[in-house]
Chain A
């Protein structure tokens, strides 16, 4: 079965605190994973993909095949990071399978 699980609906932190948004996946093939972000009143946009191994806006995510996880991390959260975050898995037919999303709220 192809499935992405994001266990937290809401994550609330203070500015400057570390952030970890959890993502676990289930996939029989070689996984290709992504984090998408949706800021208020904006469209869904790609934040990062595991194959590029980039750090975008201070966020990083490491694919852990043993734990089937792709958690998103940032050492120091900023207020502008407040948004909806979706973890997604690319399947063999080029379709993205999304998790249910985690709303990150960063308070001053």
Chain B
């Protein structure tokens, strides 16, 4: 197990296009989180899954954003009609009760909207 993985690592898109990111958590981790980090800021919480259930969504997550975790394993985060303000690093983390719910982070997907 190499830890949390995210794909792609970098994405450049034009304003108005849709993008989708994927996160593969550590095996057996039942909780999965998405965060967004902009320059000079710490990560900001977007949403959280326990197994396949999405339990909380931040107000930062506008209607253009949707996240899924269909089988309780990998997750996808889709942004529709991207805007320049969506440019950021998108981080995924996973955790498990067996590890005291320590959140392990992936390397992130850097999105640039031109």
Task: Output the least CB separation between A53 and chain B (Å).
Answer: 13
Measured between beta carbons, the chain B residues less than 8 angstroms from A44 are 43, 91, 105
Distance in angstroms from A54 CB to nearest chain B CB is: 12
* A96-B40 contact in complex given A46-B102, A46-B103, C-beta closer than 8 Å: no
Beta-carbon contacts under 8 Å, A13-47 to B:
43-46
Across-interface contacts of B40 in A (CB, < 8 A) = 9, 100
Residues of A within 8 A of B103 (CB): 46, 96
Quick one: closest A residue to B58, CB to CB?
A95
> Does B65 reach chain A (CB closer than 8 Å)?
no
Residues of B within 8 A of A94 (CB): 31, 33, 48, 55-56, 95, 101
Can you name the residue of chain B whose Cβ is closest to the Cβ of A36?
B105
Q: B101's closest neighbor in chain A, by CB?
A: A94
Besides the contacts A43-B4, A98-B42, what 6 more A-B pairs have beta carbons closer than 8 Å? A9-B40, A49-B102, A93-B56, A94-B31, A94-B55, A96-B33
